[in-house]
Chain A
Amino acid sequence: MPEAPTQNVAAESKMCARDVKVHYGEKLALKGVNLDFRPNEVTALIGPSGCGKSTFLRCLNRMNDTIGVASVTGQVTLDNDELYGANALDPVLLRMRVGMVFQKPNPFPKSIYDNVAFGPRIHGLYRDNDHLDQIVETALEKAGLWHEVKDRLYEKGTGISGGQQQRLCIARAIAVSPEVILMDEPCSALDPIATAKVEELIDELRENFTIVIVTHSMQQAARVSQRTAFFHLGDLVEVGDTEQIFTAPAQQLTQGYITGRFG
């Protein structure tokens, strides 16, 4: 039998976090988290309010840099590039490779077109205006929004429905062809139909991107993710295949939380 290639676990993962700790001033909000994200998978981060999900998510594209009191230690890698330390990736470049979608849809007060073209413009990712048109169309198409907005591309991005705005923000995030997309409760302001559309979109995006999503809806985590990580009081309690977490979690704490027996 031919020798199997030596499998490096780190090489299989798109992103790796090692002993990641976050302080807000004196307060230790994340207590040393180790978690890997596999390519083309959706990982759901769940846990009670204040357990550190958003804090951890922000470590994955250095968004904590923007919070003065926050300090991050430990190691995070994207492929084999370091996010922190002396040889760290440039944060602007990093945020292009690791995009983010927030809880509240936050389109810029510009046209739909300009919202999506924003990233490619500042990063100079297009050859000419035809190319930019094409990037905008493809991103809107992938976000499942093209058919709803193609006749109103020059209307304000803030003038469409909440669900459409959230898909516009997703289009904006994918227009720069990121490798990883972080989503912090992307559906919490949406109705069930808009939520279903975003979930369907997440499932399609998985083909091209690695996705990390924070959600308070157990059902959403179960529906969209392949892996689920449960956080509690700044610790990662358990991570596993979503199916396993929702049928037979290994930890009592996880079980108490997902079944609603956490009081």
Chain B
Amino acid sequence: MTTTPFVRDQWYVAAYGYEVGRELFSRTVCGEPVLLWRTEAGEVTGMSDRCVHRRFPLSQKPSHLVGDQVVCGYHGFTYGADGACVNVPGQRRIPRTARLTSYPVVEQDSFVWVWIGDRELADEKLIPRAPWLDQPGYTTVSGMEPLAARHGLLVDNLLDLSHETYLHGGYIGTPEVAETPITTEVDEQAGIVRVSRHMEDAVCPPFYAESTGITGRITRWQDIEYHAPCLYLLHSRIAPVGTPPPDADGGDPDAFHVEVVYAITPETENSTHDFWAVARDFALGDEKVSGFLHDNNRTVVLQDVVALDVLEKAVAAERDGYQELSINIDTGGLAARRILKRLAEEAAR
């Protein structure tokens, strides 16, 4: 099976802000190795991670930072924070073309977003928000797992949570997830897919029982909001059965809220950075709850990673146009695929 081309003119999460400091850091986004580091003033800057001279990766030692300049560890080409070469060995003249491609970078909601396409189109206002990750009133745990599968498989996976019942039984899956009908809303123009599953009377899975302390049955709402191509939000509401619904102005004091956020960033055509974060509005700052949610969510993410790594091998070996069968639960996933396909087609033009 052939994969779709990269959609370069989009914002992608390249890293968490906490991953980027005064050490040279590299991550490949849509096939482009991106070098990230913080200036002395604390700004994140992004540029190509390949020296223009002989392509040595600038993230590799003995390459290093001196103040706000990167010195290539191979022959000493030196670059400023804008990517321009400021020094070459042995001669005074710096070739005009000695400049690293630099990438627009925005740090927001704990993420470092990067734009690797046409920089004229890099409008910060296009970046979808996940404010809970960096907001008073929430405590967040997060991580990133490398996925050896094309990003489309992770989008499929996240848009259909009925798989929780089977793949994540005993963690976040209970029978009600697969049994409860969904509602799907698609805004083609904005590239947003919403899938809702409201379970009014369900078993409380260990993930929520242990973190909230609820012992009985729960009302469990899952409201997914996928902002193609990169950001996935799952608004999760958990409350003991009988808790009143949110009031008209959005107040919902008796329920527990968990904002599960994924950033789905293509690394190569067949590999993906699987960023995950879990923000909660209860047990704030409680280290024990944080440790539990971190370890449990990571376990769940890794269950998906194992499954999708296997699935990637299987579909990669298939001929183009292989058969699949879609059922009701796939309504949102089909819409997401179509939006991704449209973006890729627009990009190919």
Binding partners A and B: no
Which residues from chain B sit less than 8 Å from chain A, CB to CB?
none
Taking Cβ atoms with an 8 Å cutoff, the residues of A that contact B are none
